[in-house]
Amino acid sequence: MSRASIVSLFLVLLISSTAAFLVPAGSNHRHISIMDRMIRPVATLVTRPIVGLTVEAATKAVCRSSTSSISTNRFAASNANTNASNAAPCFDNANTLHGGIPIGAVQLGSSHVQPFRDLIDRTLRTSVQDKNSKIELSFRGVQPFVGPSNQLTNTGIDIAIDMGGQHGGHEHAHAHERLLLIHVPPAVATALDDGHPELTDFLKQNDGAYIPGLRRSRTHRRATRRKRFAQPHTLSKVQVQSKPNTNTNTDSKSNISLDFGKQQVQADPIFTFSELFAGIGGFRLGLEAIGGECVFANEIDPYAASIYRRNFVKSDSDCHLIEADILDICAKTDIPPDIDILTAGFPCQPFSTRGKQGGLSDERGQLYREIVRVLRHSRPKSFIFENVTGLVNMGEGGGGRFRGHGVAQARGEAGSVFKIILSAFEECGYNVTWNICNSRHYVAQQRERVYIVGVRNDLVREHTFSWDWYDQILQSSGRSDAGAISVLVRDIMDSPDSLAVSESELSPLQWAKLQETHSTRSGGIIKNTCIDIDAKAPTLISSYRRSGNLSSKYIFNERDRTEREIPRFLTPRECCRLMGFPEDYYVPSISIDGDTETAHFYAGIGNAVVPPVIASIGKEVVDYLRS
């Protein structure tokens, strides 16, 4: 049998087995502007076949990707091996039903890559960006394509010979250019899903193929480029505890708020949970303390992931943390299904009153849709999400401070942006409630955050999840300020002669700049920047120790009332105590870990959730599921 006959037979078999998969029957299409498409509710997503190709060419496009781009391994919840799917991206249902941010890849000859990039810049930059938006148009990655060529010629079909990646490409029977796989950003994927005429015509004219839903490998060099700057840590908690901790204050008075940290994790877990946007592990601390077992965690920031590993990971073999962009996570294969609780502290910058409040026009504001994708695929029994209170008030109709019981009453107080997000979670099949809780009832810090709780509809009882337990805390706090809630800043402070206190002092240059900045401000430097050690601390933020941050507060007096000549920052351990982190949680120091690691720790702790609050909410959720 001739080579042409063999290849023809191969194509016929391939077409018959994959054509239905590639071009779903009954696909609908209507043109929607890119920004409207990116911010509209996820239920309105439409189906779009591969751009500009015949069924035969589309089949070959997926054929080329199948050997290197479509992950088929399944997750074993009892013993997850997260390394198995690192090398292979996920083909995620062609952006139609998963509800997440649109994603995809384009296969194109190498000589057409730069013209394609230029076309994107000309046609999309003006249409998707405005002064309040932050939309990324750069390619998410470009890599050599591995698989059979799609070059059809008058003389036959060229067969690509895989050179094992030795030369980063292929050699062909005829002198055709190398094919590349281009992972496009969400804005470009959105445009191609909507049939953008200029982009579509370009692919048609240059024998290109768009594959919607194809996710980048987590090991792609562009996906891992930031990791080399952070120190990889795999220390266990036992190892950390055995180290002398010079940052720890042993004064018994400082432990008033830290009883939570002394709770022991139960030997036999009573429920399972997964973490999205895991940060440095605040959700994990809270849920492990009430008997939970973490079976999956995801975090993109390499410094936060390094801190996470240092405190939770005993060895690489039991690491449930996947350090990757959530856009590269395959919800079908990476995340275990039917776990008890899914947690997420999704990015707050687009909603915070301290920022520009770009909201859903900011790409980070769209990341809630990736949570929707995970909810639809993994179907957890419940979820607990956290964000800043600015999210509640954003958009038309916002401004209410606290929720009522149940979604209907809560919706009357939520702004339009929050309603969109709540509706997206509800449409995944969950009964959703929310509340604003203040951590001052647990720790020595004023920290209001909105918490969103969802219970899968098939598990909802006659009465929905209630926040009555928090109302009781508010009532109790109103009558008395005794017990654990009475902890103040003075109670969590380190010894004045500790190394951590010495390392936290402002430099002479910082002190001079601080004095200059506040010399003309009303109230003076003490009123504007001093932390009252006999009260609750103000809210910790991720930019707390960043130079030039006008909202940062400082320690001017030590716990023995000694007045400092030069004020200082809160130490890393003091920040942990303000957040309710346990005493055995490893914190870096400048002398041991360096300035960079310590600075990133401050950012991580400022972004974290308060574990005692999570423990309280988690206990109520678990009790509800058991009922």
**348 catalytic, yes or no?**
yes
Residue 354: Cβ-neighbour burial (10 angstroms; 0-12, 13-18, 19+): middle
pLDDT score for 521: 77
Same domain, 379 and 521: no
**Is position 32 within any domain?**
yes
Instruction: Give the pTM.
Output: 0.78
Confidence of residue 364 (pLDDT cuts 50, 70, 90): confident
* Active-site annotation holder among 348, 428, 437, 575: 348
- CB contact burial 611-626 (16+ within 10 A = b; e otherwise): bbbbbbbbbbbbebbe
**240-244, 245-249, 270-274, 462-466: the lowest-pLDDT one:** 240-244
Most confident range, picked from 62-71, 472-481, 533-542, 611-620: 611-620
- Number of domains observed in the structure of the chain: 3
Question: Is there a contact between 223 and 139 (Cβ–Cβ < 8 Å)?
Answer: no
Provide the mean pLDDT of the chain: 75
Is pLDDT above 70 for 245? no
Nearest Cα residue to 143 out of 122, 116, 170 = 170
Q: What is the pLDDT of residue 605?
A: 96
Does 253 map to a domain? no
Cβ neighbours for 497, distance < 8 A, ≥ 6 positions apart: none
Q: Name the percent of the chain lying above pLDDT 90.
A: 45
Mark whether 208 and 274 lie in a shared domain.
no
Q: Show the domain range for 71.
A: 3-212
Computed on alpha carbons and rounded to an integer, the radius of gyration of the chain in Å comes to: 27
pLDDT at 108: 93
pLDDT grade, residue 228 (50/70/90)?
A: low
Please give the structure tokens belonging to residue 561. Answer: 């009332």
Same-domain status, 151 and 271: no
HEC letters along 520-550: CCCCHHHHHHECCCCCCECCCCCCCCCCCCC
On whether residue 573 sits in a domain, the answer given is yes
How large is the angle between the packed helices 590-607 and 572-579, nearest 10 degrees? Answer: 30
Q: Are residues 506 and 576 in the same domain?
A: yes
Residues above pLDDT 70, as percent of the chain: 65
Q: How far is the CA of 276 from the CAs of 95, 325, 383, 485, 608, in angstroms?
A: 20, 10, 11, 29, 13
Contact between residue 314 and residue 236 where contact means Cβ atoms under 8 Å apart: yes
CATH number of the domain that residue 372 is part of: 3.40.50.150
Lowest mean pLDDT among 98-107, 345-354, 418-427, 534-543: 345-354
Residue 20: pLDDT band (50, 70, 90) is very low
- Asked if the structure places residue 308 within a domain, the reply is yes
Flag whether pLDDT at 525 surpasses 90.
no
> Residue 183: enclosing H or E segment and its boundaries?
strand 179-184
Mean pLDDT (whole number) for 453-477: 90
CA distance 285 to 308: 11
Same domain, yes or no: 46 and 166: yes
pLDDT number for residue 416: 86
Tokens of 289: 């303390």
With contact defined as beta carbons under 8 Å apart, do 144 and 121 qualify?
no
Are 563 and 617 in a shared domain?
Answer: no
Does residue 235 sit within a domain? Answer: no
Residues 198 and 294 in one domain: no
| 320 backbone dihedrals φ, ψ, rounded to 5° | -95, 5
Do 411 and 448 reside in the same domain of the chain?
yes
At residue 106, φ and ψ (nearest 5 deg) are: -120, 135
pLDDT band at 315 (very low <50, low <70, confident <90, very high): low
Which pLDDT band holds residue 443 (cuts at 50, 70, 90)? very high
The token pair that represents 67 in the structure block: 């050997």
Amino acid 408 reads A
pLDDT in tens, 67-93: 333 332 223 333 333 444 444 556 655
Let me know whether 75 and 86 are in one domain.
yes
Asked if residue 76 and residue 39 are part of one domain, the reply reads yes
In 3-state terms the chain splits into helix, strand, coil percentages (rounded to 5) of: 40, 15, 45
